[in-house]
């Protein structure tokens, strides 16, 4: 008896083709960056209630592996459904002055299939598969709207000088590698929620390749951080600080690496909760044309990394 392996991505892409316009579910796919499965409550951690709710109300795919160990080829494997030996991008090849090796014109993503099926598509977070205007431009690879970091090297800084909205470079006034005024994940999250709001009456595919909790370990000293500020015995990590000698791809120093990392995981969980709340808010009660089923999935780009001597402890606070 023969057995056949059908990738989840193929199912997500083909399912809408078999349904009429009124039956098509909205699809939300969240790609976490360098999150370990042990960083989630459902696998033994604490303080990820929204992600735990997804696991409790849905399914857990315990053999759903990242395409590879680093950013670009893992994203390429995900979007094309091809393993690392076949997918076009097989390493983090930098293109100066900004961006990575682009996906070729001939490469098709499952987002393009969803577009053909009538979906409005958006990606909000980190791309890393081709600069604006190249063959790998997200607008040319299945996404009607993109907002975030096009270049993954730029995403090493959580207070970057700019982000990208489709073909437009969005300068973040006050961020200049010496000063930090705007936290990029918060800005990207606002655009993510706006996409849901703006397309509540149409079937949409929302791809959220969040940068969290990838290094650098940085963020506001807000409620996400304060709950862990005094929870661990910490050793300061010295890095490439914001200032005259700062480089784009560097990681800033962090006084309390464990607390900051835990805060970034909790922030990601909080942002996922905001997406879930927005979907509930704009459900079929208020918008009859909004079809109630939502396929919502979370996976990780690669496994956890051991930067800054971080050992995954339970985030008790």
Residue 12 domain-assigned?
no
Task: Kindly state whether residue 154 falls inside one of the protein's structural domains.
Answer: yes
Q: What is the pLDDT of residue 315?
A: 46
Q: Contacts for 81-86 with beta carbons within 8 Å, 24 or more apart? A: 81/7, 81/9, 81/10, 81/13, 81/110
Does residue 251 sit within a domain? yes
User: Residue 14 falls within a domain, yes or no?
Assistant: no
Confidence at residue 307, expressed as pLDDT on a 0 to 100 scale: 47
For residue 8, being part of any structural domain is answered with: no
The residue range of the domain holding 112 is 26-301
Across residues 281-292, what is the average pLDDT? 50
**7-33, pLDDT tens digit by residue?**
555 555 555 555 555 578 899 999 999
Distance (Å, rounded) from C-alpha 146 to C-alpha 148? 7
Contacts of 116 (CB under 8 A, 6+ apart): none
Distance, in Å, from the CA atom of 156 to the CA atom of 237, rounded to the nearest integer, reads 16
Inter-axis angle of helices 257-281 and 184-198, nearest 10: 10
Per-residue pLDDT at 17? 57
CATH number at residue 245: 3.40.720.10
Categorise residue 128: left if φ over 0, alpha if ψ from -120 to 50, beta otherwise: left
The closest alpha carbon to 136, from 109, 169, 173, belongs to 109
1 part of a folded domain:
no
pTM score of the predicted model: 0.89
Structure tokens at 94: 């930098």
Q: When comparing pLDDT for 304 and 271, which is higher?
A: 271
Percent of the chain with pLDDT over 90: 69
Quote the mean pLDDT of the chain.
86
Q: Is residue 19 a part of any domain in this protein?
A: no
Q: pLDDT tens digit string along 204-225? A: 999 999 999 999 999 999 999 9
Report how far Cα 12 is from the mean position of its chain's Cα atoms.
18
On the question of pLDDT at 2 being above 70, the answer is no
Element (H, E) at 164: strand 162-165
Over the Cα atoms of the chain, what is R_g?
Answer: 19
pLDDT digits (tens, 9 = 90+) for 67-126: 888 899 999 999 999 998 999 999 999 999 999 999 999 999 999 999 999 999 999 999
Residue 11 belongs to some domain of the structure: no
> What separation in angstroms does the CA of 164 have from each of 89, 170, 224, 271?
21, 5, 26, 20
**The total number of structural domains that make up the chain:** 1
List all residues 6 or more positions away from 208 whose beta carbon is below 8 Å from its beta carbon.
28, 29, 30, 31, 123, 124, 125, 192, 275
Region 261-290: mean pLDDT is: 81
């Amino acid at each position: 008896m023969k057995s056949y392996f059908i990738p989840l991505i193929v199912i997500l892409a083909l399912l809408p083709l078999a349904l009429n316009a009124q039956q098509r579910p909205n699809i939300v796919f969240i790609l976490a960056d360098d999150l370990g499965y042990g960083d989630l409550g459902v696998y033994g951690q604490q303080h990820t209630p929204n992600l735990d709710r997804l696991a409790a109300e849905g399914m857990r795919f315990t053999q759903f592996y990242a395409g590879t160990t680093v950013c670009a080829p893992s994203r390429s494997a995900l979007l094309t459904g091809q393993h690392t030996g076949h997918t076009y991008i097989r390493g983090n090849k930098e293109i100066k002055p900004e961006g990575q090796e682009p996906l070729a014109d001939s490469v098709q993503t499952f987002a393009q299939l969803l577009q053909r099926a009538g979906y409005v598509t958006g990606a909000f977070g980190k791309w890393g598969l081709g600069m604006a205007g190249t063959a790998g431009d997200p607008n040319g690879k299945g996404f009607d709207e993109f907002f975030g970091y096009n270049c993954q090297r730029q995403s090493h800084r959580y207070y970057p000088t700019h982000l990208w909205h489709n073909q437009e470079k969005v300068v973040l006034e006050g961020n200049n590698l010496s000063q930090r005024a705007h936290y990029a994940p918060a800005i990207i999250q606002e655009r993510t929620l706006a996409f849901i709001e703006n397309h509540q009456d149409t079937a949409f595919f929302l791809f959220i390749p969040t940068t969290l909790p990838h290094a650098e370990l940085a963020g506001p000293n807000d409620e996400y951080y304060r709950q862990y500020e005094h929870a661990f015995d910490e050793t300061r990590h010295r890095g490439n600080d914001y200032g005259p000698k700062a480089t784009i791809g560097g990681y800033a120093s962090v006084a309390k690496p464990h607390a900051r990392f835990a805060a970034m995981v909790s922030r990601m969980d909080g942002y996922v909760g905001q997406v879930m709340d927005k979907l509930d808010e704009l459900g079929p009660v208020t918008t009859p044309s909004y079809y109630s089923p939502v396929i919502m999935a979370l996976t990780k780009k690669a496994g956890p990394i051991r930067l800054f001597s971080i050992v995954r402890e339970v985030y008790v606070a």
